[in-house]
């Protein structure tokens, strides 16, 4: 198999056997990026020279035998993770030229494990969006159909993996930003339990919801990478000190007796009929492997999106107040006075969606409206958490569609933020409740892929990865790739 078509696990085995070198893999992928990314726009920065130097070092280390688990394996980072010496833009004009003085913990852990970083991927501005159209660097294209969005906000990561420009990518998920683009590009995306992966050096959008994860082409690769990323970090006060299991070893569990919950409301009229059929068929695949299906109730499901769109903007309005043109980021030219510096730096540096969120967030936190909106949303958030808790008393996993429809056309939803926001209707609940969740390829509708979404109780990443792995052994959806990028 050609190098670009191999999964991380394949490449790892090949490197171990000495079939090829890390330099060869790296060069092959950099060549593909050079060939295809002008159209796809998945990358904001390609770090060719650094990647080749790192690959060369990895090859040397490997021959000495003392190598990390990802030694010489290529990955790409969403441009929200701070990287020393390479710009971290977060998809924004505000940080167009920003070079962080330190590496994010996630970046550091991959580097310590020996991974080779090919570049930084495009994303919605400050991770606010579901289509990658809010990026200052232009939209990312979906390799399955260049007129369509790959989803967002980790759309660059998803497209890079789907078009085989990289076998794996990091992403972040505040309301669905790993799982939704994974579903729309036929890749696998996992968002771990809140606190599982350090947020240190990951530019904050909504701190109580943001969580880092990965996009890959196989559950085994996701397990391999999660094992590297996960674990306590004293530099992140929300990181939780909980043992990290051997996710790869957990893949071979059995689905016999797995209790799968289905949410009736997930199949209401909002869901595309062909998607519903494909998801039902996938649930049948789990059943055939010994899982039992039953209905569960999430009575406050309808409030997930409105709750999220109070909590997330509130947190973002606070987080983004640090971008004031004084310390770092975009600075307006020739300010008249301090107020003018603040106003113009922010006015010029932020795009329309980011401004909309900051304004909404500031409003819901303001003295007169705090109780009516922010406090109320926090209470509803608790109810949503309790719904999940109750459901997980009876089932091990909740499964359903990742998105209501396959990929939509670029431009289709840009004038209507509410319809855009509704794209995350099935994914947002997991963020509000801090639960691990995953999307796996489960069908192709009129040439466009869709995903099966699974949510587990806290720390159930192993169950999700194992279910995804076993599901993929019975189906070949994850093997399909867009014709022009095979």
Stretch of 107-115, 171-179, 396-404, 448-456 contacting ligand GLN, by CB under 6 A: 171-179
| Backbone φ and ψ of 192, nearest 5° | -75, 175
Query: Smallest distance, Å, CB 408 to ligand GLN?
Result: 13
The answer to whether residue 441 forms part of the interface with ligand GLN (CB under 6 A) is: no
Token reading at 42: 């998945």
Q: Exactly one of 177, 218, 282, 439 is catalytic; which is it?
A: 177
Q: Please compute Rg for the chain using Cα positions.
A: 21
Query: Smallest distance, Å, CB 196 to ligand GLN?
Result: 16
Q: Report the alpha-carbon distance of residue 84 to residue 124 in Å, rounded.
A: 21
Please count the other Cβ atoms lying within 10 Å of the Cβ belonging to residue 372.
Answer: 11
Query: Smallest distance, Å, CB 423 to ligand GLN?
Result: 7
Query: Smallest distance, Å, CB 261 to ligand GLN?
Result: 23
Near ligand GLN by CB under 6 A: residue from 74, 155, 156, 175: 175
Query: Smallest distance, Å, CB 177 to ligand GLN?
Result: 3
Residue 22 or 132 having the CB closest to ligand GLN:
132
Near ligand GLN by CB under 6 A: residue from 37, 79, 173, 387: 173
Stretch of 37-45, 95-103, 168-176, 368-376 contacting ligand GLN, by CB under 6 A: 168-176
Query: Smallest distance, Å, CB 80 to ligand GLN?
Result: 9
Token reading at 250: 């957990």
Q: Are 444 and 483 in contact (CB under 8 A)?
A: no
Residues 276-335 that bind ligand GLN (CB under 6 A): 312
Q: Exactly one of 22, 130, 131, 153 is catalytic; which is it?
A: 153
**Buried (b) or exposed (e) across 194-214, using 16+ Cβ within 10 A?**
bbbbbbbbbbbbbbbbbbbbb
Closest CA to 301 of 266, 334, 252, 259: 266
Residue 129 or 400 having the CB closest to ligand GLN:
129
From the number of C-beta atoms within 10 Å of its C-beta (0-12, 13-18, 19+), residue 280 rates as: middle
Residues 196-215 that bind ligand GLN (CB under 6 A): 205
Alpha helical stretches, state H, 400-457: 417-421, 428-432
Residues 125-144 that bind ligand GLN (CB under 6 A): 127-130
Token reading at 349: 């540096």
Near ligand GLN by CB under 6 A: residue from 7, 177, 198, 317: 177
Near ligand GLN by CB under 6 A: residue from 68, 119, 176, 351: 176
Residue 7 or 403 having the CB closest to ligand GLN:
403
Give the single-character DSSP code of 171.
Answer: E
Residues 385-424 that bind ligand GLN (CB under 6 A): 424
Query: Smallest distance, Å, CB 120 to ligand GLN?
Result: 16
Angle at 119 between CA 1 and CA 483, to 5 degrees: 40
Q: Report the alpha-carbon distance of residue 244 to residue 282 in Å, rounded.
A: 29
Q: Report the alpha-carbon distance of residue 77 to residue 107 in Å, rounded.
A: 8
The answer to whether residue 153 forms part of the interface with ligand GLN (CB under 6 A) is: yes
Residue 350 or 471 having the CB closest to ligand GLN:
350
Q: Exactly one of 78, 120, 191, 413 is catalytic; which is it?
A: 78
Size of the site for ligand GLN (CB under 6 A): 13
Please count the other Cβ atoms lying within 10 Å of the Cβ belonging to residue 60.
Answer: 12
Residue 149 annotated in active site = no
Question: Which bin fits 388, alpha (ψ -120 to 50), beta or left (φ > 0)?
Answer: alpha
Token reading at 175: 């309301």
Query: Smallest distance, Å, CB 19 to ligand GLN?
Result: 38
Name the β-bridge partners of 400.
453
Residue 153 annotated in active site = yes
Distance set, CA 304 to CA 14, 297, 353, 361, 382 (Å): 45, 14, 20, 17, 11
Please count the other Cβ atoms lying within 10 Å of the Cβ belonging to residue 241.
Answer: 9
Residue 177 annotated in active site = yes
Residue 205 or 323 having the CB closest to ligand GLN:
205
The answer to whether residue 174 forms part of the interface with ligand GLN (CB under 6 A) is: yes
Residue 361 or 456 having the CB closest to ligand GLN:
361
Residue 72 or 175 having the CB closest to ligand GLN:
175
Q: Report the alpha-carbon distance of residue 20 to residue 33 in Å, rounded.
A: 20
Token reading at 11: 């490449």
Q: Which residues bind ligand GLN (CB under 6 A)?
A: 127-130, 153, 173-177, 205, 312, 424
Catalytic residues: 78, 153, 177
């Amino acid at each position: 198999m050609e190098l670009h078509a191999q999964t991380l696990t394949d490449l790892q085995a090949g490197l171990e056997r000495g079939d090829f070198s890390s330099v060869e893999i790296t060069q092959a992928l950099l060549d593909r990026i050079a060939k295809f990314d002008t159209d796809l726009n998945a990358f904001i920065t390609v770090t060719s020279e650094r990647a080749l130097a790192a690959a060369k070092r990895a090859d040397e280390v490997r021959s000495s035998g003392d190598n990390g688990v990802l030694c010489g394996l290529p990955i790409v980072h969403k441009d929200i993770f701070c990287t020393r010496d390479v710009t971290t833009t977060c998809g924004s004009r505000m940080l167009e030229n920003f070079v962080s003085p330190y590496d994010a913990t996630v970046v550091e852990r991959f580097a310590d494990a020996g991974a080779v970083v090919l570049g930084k991927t495009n994303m919605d501005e400050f991770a606010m969006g579901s289509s990658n159209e809010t990026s200052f660097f232009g939209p990312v294209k979906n390799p399955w159909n260049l007129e369509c969005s790959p989803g967002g906000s980790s759309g660059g990561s998803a497209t890079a993996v789907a078009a085989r420009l990289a076998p794996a990518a990091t992403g972040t998920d505040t309301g669905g930003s790993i799982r939704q683009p994974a579903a729309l590009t036929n890749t696998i995306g996992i968002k771990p339990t809140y606190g599982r992966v350090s947020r240190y050096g990951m530019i904050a959008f909504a701190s109580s919801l943001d969580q880092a994860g990965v996009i890959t082409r196989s559950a085994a690769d996701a397990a391999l990478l999660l094992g590297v990323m996960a674990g306590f970090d004293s530099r992140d006060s929300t990181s939780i000190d909980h043992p990290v299991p051997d996710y790869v070893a957990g893949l071979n569990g059995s689905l016999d007796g797995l209790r799968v919950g289905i949410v009736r409301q997930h199949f209401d009229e909002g869901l595309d009929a062909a998607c519903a059929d494909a998801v039902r068929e996938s649930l049948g695949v789990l059943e055939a492997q010994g899982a039992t299906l039953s209905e569960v109730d999430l009575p406050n499901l309808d409030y997930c999106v409105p709750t999220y769109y109070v909590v997330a903007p509130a947190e973002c309005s606070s987080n983004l107040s640090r971008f004031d043109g004084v310390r770092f980021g975009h600075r307006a030219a020739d300010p008249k006075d301090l107020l003018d510096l603040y106003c113009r730096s922010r006015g010029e540096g932020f795009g329309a969606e980011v401004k909309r969120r900051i304004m909404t967030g500031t409003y819901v936190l303001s003295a007169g409206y705090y109780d009516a909106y922010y406090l109320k949303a926090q209470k509803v958030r608790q109810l949503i958490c309790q719904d999940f808790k109750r459901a997980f008393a009876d089932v091990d996993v909740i499964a359903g569609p990742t998105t209501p429809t396959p990929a939509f056309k670029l431009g289709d939803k840009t004038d209507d933020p509410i319809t855009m926001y509704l794209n995350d209707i099935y994914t947002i609940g997991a963020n509000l409740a801090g639960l691990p969740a995953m999307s796996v390829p489960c069908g192709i509708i009129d040439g466009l892929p869709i995903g099966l979404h699974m949510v587990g109780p806290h720390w159930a990443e192993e169950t999700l990865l194992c279910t995804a792995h076993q599901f993929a052994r019975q189906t070949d959806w994850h093997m399909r790739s867009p014709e022009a990028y095979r």
